[in-house]
Structure 1
Amino acid sequence: MTQPGDRAPAPGALTLVQDFANTADLAGGHDSLGAAGDLAALCAAHGLTDVCFDETDIGEARRLREALRDVCEAHTGVEVPATSLAVLGAMLDGAPLTLSIDAAGQASAVPRPGLTGLSALTAELAARIVVAAADRTWPRLKACGAHDCRWVYYDHSPAGRSRWCTMSICGSRAKMRAYRGRGRPINASVVPTRS
């Protein structure tokens, strides 16, 4: 998926989370979760070829997406709305993870076998977030601070304090709005007069 401002996508496990959250392009007015096939295509693009969806999954997938965006926005210092926490809590309850240990002794959280549809996708997203939380990349997946954008981007900046998906578009607009909002008092002694 193309990132604004030529940003690099999120690393490794977070790519699916980022791509799922960005299935709605608010600035462009496009929602790519229109049908069950759209969810299946997204999953297939990330190697999840055995997950099937039906049309009833679309509305819930959109709710999950917006709740994830709210969590990513919290990574910029905004509080997650209680409704989004409730949505995530309910969906995660139906998408449990289990601990898997491989032959080399490595442990990982994986979706419980037998999950289908949106529960399988939710569990996969959760497993990838667990990996990202462990490697400390999760807090750098952020939602743009521009409320007409909310694009989910990965903050590659050294300090990890980026607030907008791209400074040249959303950041500039926000700074211009703030500048105009402050207004500039007119100092009568500075206003040129004609003699």
Structure 2
Amino acid sequence: MSERSAAPGGLALVESLVNTLDIAAGTDALDTREGRAGLGITKDGVAEARELRESLRAALLAHAGHPPHRAVTPLGTLLARAPLYVAVDDHDGSARLAPATAGPLLSRVAAAVAEALVAGTWTRLKACESDTCHWAYYDRSPARRGRWCSMQVCGARAKMRRYRAKSP
């Protein structure tokens, strides 16, 4: 689990969804009413939310240079189903992709990904390298080479494992 600050803009929604599953603890916030309410989904939407979550996790692992931990529906396939439209601001003429309806999680995630693509921040959202974590985090490092959600936890564990493997 990360002690980092939340991802900017709509990526906070993506980060929040991916982090509903705590692999190390074996808990899933989507199993709780509070966890679902935080994402604006009902119990009927849990299966779709889980499929989206794992597809997002696979993309975030790819951003960090790692293969997915299991086979998932490609994220592009899921996002292609999201009804979006081009919203134009009447005051300044700016435009953005927006969900066709406010409710569906898939549309909100698709709009967040589109926003991040335009802002150049999409590939900064990554999943932790640790196989027992895979927590989503926003890589704020200048070189964009962050590997762990937390240097103090996952990073330290990985470095200690490497050190012990080298010791006689």
| TM-score for both structures, normalised by structure 2 | 0.86
2:50 corresponds, among 59, 62, 70, to 62
Contact 2:59 2:75 in 1 (8 A): no
Deviation of residue 38 (structure 1)? Answer: 3.3
**Where does residue 100 of structure 1 map in the other structure?**
87
Extract unaligned runs of 5+ from structure 1. Answer: 44-51, 185-195
Task: Assess, with a 3 A threshold, how the Cα gap between structure 1 residues 167 and 31 changes in structure 2: closer, same or farther.
Answer: same
**Deviations 1:160-192 (CA, angstroms, capped at 9, x unpaired):** 1110011111111112222333453xxxxxxxx
Contact 1:76 1:161 in 2 (8 A): yes
1:125 equivalent to 2:113? Answer no
Distance 1:183 1:165 in 2: 26
Distance 2:135 2:69 in 1: 18
User: What SS is found at the alignment partner of 1:142?
Assistant: strand
Distance 1:157 1:34 in 2: 33
User: What SS is found at the alignment partner of 1:19?
Assistant: helix
Distance 1:99 1:138 in 2: 19
Distance 2:69 2:74 in 1: 10
Deviation of residue 95 (structure 1)? Answer: 1.5
1:75 equivalent to 2:63? Answer yes
Deviation of residue 90 (structure 1)? Answer: 3.9
1:171 corresponds, among 155, 159, 168, to 155
Distance 2:12 2:23 in 1: 19
**Where does residue 126 of structure 2 map in the other structure?**
142
Structure label with greater radius of gyration: 1
Paired residues in the alignment total: 167
User: What SS is found at the alignment partner of 1:12?
Assistant: coil
Task: Assess, with a 3 A threshold, how the Cα gap between structure 1 residues 93 and 81 changes in structure 2: closer, same or farther.
Answer: farther
2:39 corresponds, among 32, 39, 42, to 42
* Identity over aligned pairs, percent: 42
Distance 1:81 1:146 in 2: 11
Task: Assess, with a 3 A threshold, how the Cα gap between structure 1 residues 38 and 167 changes in structure 2: closer, same or farther.
Answer: closer
2:97 corresponds, among 101, 109, 113, to 109
Extract unaligned runs of 5+ from structure 2. Answer: none
